[in-house]
């Protein structure tokens, strides 16, 4: 079982990168969604 730790490290880090990227996209989306709601309501108030 030589190098098993390296194989696991490669897969864990690889999947970790994809997962962290997905989380950043999800976080940015939710922040932006809140911004849109805020902007829309401030526009409605201005009308």
Residues that bind other proteins (CB under 8 A): 1-4, 6-7, 9-11, 13-15, 17-18, 21-22, 25-26, 28-29, 32-33, 35-36, 39-40, 42-43, 46
Q: How far apart are CA 19 and CA 9, in angstroms?
A: 15
Q: How far apart are CA 14 and CA 18, in angstroms?
A: 7
CB of 22 to other proteins, least distance (A): 6
CB of 4 to other proteins, least distance (A): 6
CB of 47 to other proteins, least distance (A): 8
Return the number of other C-beta atoms located less than 10 Å from residue 7's C-beta.
11
Return the H-helix or E-strand segment holding 37: helix 4-46
């Amino acid at each position: 079982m030589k190098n098993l730790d390296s194989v696991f490290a490669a897969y864990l880090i690889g999947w970790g990168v994809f997962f962290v990227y997905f989380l950043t996209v999800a976080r940015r989306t939710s922040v932006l969604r809140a911004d849109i709601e805020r902007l829309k309501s401030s526009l409605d108030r201005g009308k």
